[in-house]
Amino acid sequence: MQETVLLPLIVALPLLGFVLLGLWGRRIGEPAAGWLASFLVLGSFLLGFWLLLQGGAKWTLAEWLPGIPFSLRLDNLSGVMLMVVSGVGFLIHLWAIGYMHGDAGYSRFFSYFNLFIAAMLVLVLGDSLPVVFIGWEGVGLASYLLIGFWYTERVNADSARKAFIVNRIGDLGFLLAMGLLWSMFGTLSISELVEKVEAGGYSFTTLSLAGFFLLIGAIGKSAQVPLMVWLPDAMAGPTPVSALIHAATMVTAGVYLLVRHAFILHGDAFLAGSIVALGLLTAFYGALCSLGQWDIKRIVAYTTLSQLGFMFVAVGVGAYWVAIFHIVTHAFFKALMFMTSGSVIHALGGEQDVRQMGGMRKHLPITHRHGLVAALASGGLPPLAGFWSKDAILAYTFEYGPWLWALMLLASALAALYSIRWYVLVFLGEYRGKAHPHESPPVMLWPNHILMGGALGVGFIGLPYVIDYKNFLEPFLSKAIGEFPHEKLPVWTEWTLIIVSALVAIGVLLWGFRFFQQPLPQWYARFQQAALNGFYVDMLYNTLLVNPLKALAELLFSADRGLLGGFAGLGSLMGGLGGLLARLEAGALRLYLLGFLLALVLLLLWGVLR
């Protein structure tokens, strides 16, 4: 692994785009701004790919803060993430050139988009926790700016703010993890932490707590239960944002963080159990909610939740490379799903309600092909990409416990169901709206062609060992994540699992294909009502948390304003009522003066008597 200054250049390219477009975006104008941004990201991709072929790279600025270097590291793990972020990121940039056409904030959009890529690359490449945290909050900022891109609408601004605040809960976990690891090991460099954790000589309970803090961070960023509420609202942003940030890359950062710190998590039954439980809850919650949505973007957003839950389960059962594998395949088919949705929205002049869609198979034949592949890959049809990564997760869960496997099989059945529902509602039947659908321009179709290729074929980098003994991805990633040996399932068990999950996917896809084309039965409508509102979690949070916290802020505020000094403040907090206040103030003042005089006299006395 070579020390090279080319590594920070990978980050610098999109950062340059952010600065250039931020300062002179209007002068650069449309479409140059979009092309500039896109090719800078492509530059990062190519440079990163080249460095990865050289066997990785690192770069260190000796001291950023006392005892904390600023270090980047391109190894196989961060390399794979880099490829996904900049590769898929480049395609979505291209697509956005068409999608954002004519928007008043065209160059502002690409400026933020490049900022996001730069921050995400810092997050991925960072080899020191504070550096990772710079990227971590940086992507949060970019997400905030892009969700609220059309901030003159109140709902968009609200959604952006909500995303930022909820994410900050996770960030607090990240911060505390840094505090704890620093007090344990005196370093925050990840490579050094690996060595120190290996060396031993610390309390395992404390290390477990550090893992728990990291987990909180991951939950926030990856929108796991109970912090998932921000992600559906994040769809307020333009569709490329949803595809890039809230599907393909940023939301997987939590999973990446956990995998990067597998050396802390591994072998800790409590943490593993928590991660599995949260992932499972999220997988089901997302799947069920998706089945009840009418807004095309919210449908896809909830499917993302569900797939993120799959990744968490993978981390929980120790299948770290599989979690990354699923990030890769998911990036392709989910980005494709979002961009197909976006192409449809674009074709229908901004319509997002699937009840006003349908029949796009005829009107948008090319986009239809993309949509079909996306749905089938997301539904886990063999041999598309989604099938192989999902199947690998299922195999590991079987080792963890057959009951978990059964539950995950159910979750993947739901995944097949929501994928086909999305497809049927958008593409089949007769067109139910009034717009005049038109196929997207080439600049939007070509990225989708490529993503479609990925959704079809990228699964072959991680085939199960019974098919391809020389699976590429597992040994490749293990070099960076670390070797965590596990017993491989017997050949025939593995085959049985593969066939069962394939059959389930095919069966559910076929069933859903018919079910959603017919009028929906009564029970489904009832279920849908609850699912549409996310099972009222937002309402619950508002009642139990947000409103009481706001009320308490009001209460404390009025108490504090009435207070003149701490003692009066405590008094007024208890006594509380306005009329009393004036007298209390005067009384407290006298008490103050008395106290100080007393202190003075005591001091003088002491001096004299000594």
Q: Applying CB under 8 A, which residues contact other proteins?
A: 22, 63-67, 130, 133-134, 136-138, 141, 144, 148, 151-154, 157-158, 161, 164-165, 168-169, 171-172, 175-176, 178-180, 182-183, 549-550, 552-554, 556-558, 560-561, 563-567, 569-570, 589, 592-593, 596, 599-600, 602-604, 606-607, 610
- Which of 185/284 has CB closer to other proteins? 185
Cβ distance 358 to 428 under 8 Å?
A: yes
Q: How far is the CB of 206 from other proteins (least distance, A)?
A: 10
Q: How far is the CB of 162 from other proteins (least distance, A)?
A: 9
Both tokens of 274, joined, read 């928590």
Cβ distance 228 to 169 under 8 Å?
A: no
- Which of 499/600 has CB closer to other proteins? 600
- Which of 10/376 has CB closer to other proteins? 10
- Which of 210/311 has CB closer to other proteins? 210
Q: How far is the CB of 64 from other proteins (least distance, A)?
A: 6
- Which of 154/583 has CB closer to other proteins? 154
- Which of 362/561 has CB closer to other proteins? 561
- Which of 65/540 has CB closer to other proteins? 65
- Which of 148/358 has CB closer to other proteins? 148
Q: How many residues does the chain have?
A: 610
Q: How far is the CB of 231 from other proteins (least distance, A)?
A: 17
Cβ distance 435 to 348 under 8 Å?
A: yes
Q: How far is the CB of 564 from other proteins (least distance, A)?
A: 6
- Which of 262/563 has CB closer to other proteins? 563
Q: How far is the CB of 560 from other proteins (least distance, A)?
A: 6
Q: How far is the CB of 96 from other proteins (least distance, A)?
A: 21
Cβ distance 91 to 331 under 8 Å?
A: no
- Which of 95/106 has CB closer to other proteins? 106
The rounded distance, in Å, linking the Cα atoms of 447 and 336 is 9
- Which of 209/450 has CB closer to other proteins? 209
Look at the alpha carbons of 85, 87, 90, 95 in this order and tell me if their dihedral is positive or negative.
negative
Both tokens of 502, joined, read 């394939």
Q: How far is the CB of 608 from other proteins (least distance, A)?
A: 11
The rounded distance, in Å, linking the Cα atoms of 196 and 180 is 14
Q: How far is the CB of 425 from other proteins (least distance, A)?
A: 33
Which residue type sits at 85?
V
- Which of 91/229 has CB closer to other proteins? 229
The rounded distance, in Å, linking the Cα atoms of 167 and 216 is 10
| Residue corresponding to tokens 């674009």 | 346
The rounded distance, in Å, linking the Cα atoms of 21 and 356 is 37
Which residue type sits at 152?
T
Q: How far is the CB of 233 from other proteins (least distance, A)?
A: 14
The rounded distance, in Å, linking the Cα atoms of 45 and 88 is 9
The closest alpha carbon to 238, from 91, 35, 99, belongs to: 99
The rounded distance, in Å, linking the Cα atoms of 90 and 87 is 5
Written as one string, the DSSP assignment of 209-254 is HHHHHHHHHHHHHTT-TTSTTHHHHGGGS-HHHHHIIIIISGGGHH
Written as one string, the DSSP assignment of 293-332 is --BHHHHHHHHHHHHHHHHHHHHHTT-HHHHHHHHHHHHH
What are residue 128's phi and psi, to 5 degrees?
A: -140, 135
Q: How far is the CB of 145 from other proteins (least distance, A)?
A: 8
Q: How far is the CB of 150 from other proteins (least distance, A)?
A: 10
Under 8 Å CB-to-CB from 432, ≥6 apart: which residues?
355, 356, 357, 358, 359
Tell me the pairing of strands 2-3 and 68-74. Answer: unpaired
Cβ distance 120 to 475 under 8 Å?
A: no
The rounded distance, in Å, linking the Cα atoms of 339 and 344 is 8
Burial state string for 114-130 with b = 16 or more CB within 10 A and e = fewer than 16: bbbbbbbbbbbbbbbbb
Q: Which DSSP category does 483 fall into?
A: -
- Which of 209/466 has CB closer to other proteins? 209
- Which of 151/431 has CB closer to other proteins? 151
Q: How far is the CB of 175 from other proteins (least distance, A)?
A: 6
Q: How far is the CB of 14 from other proteins (least distance, A)?
A: 14
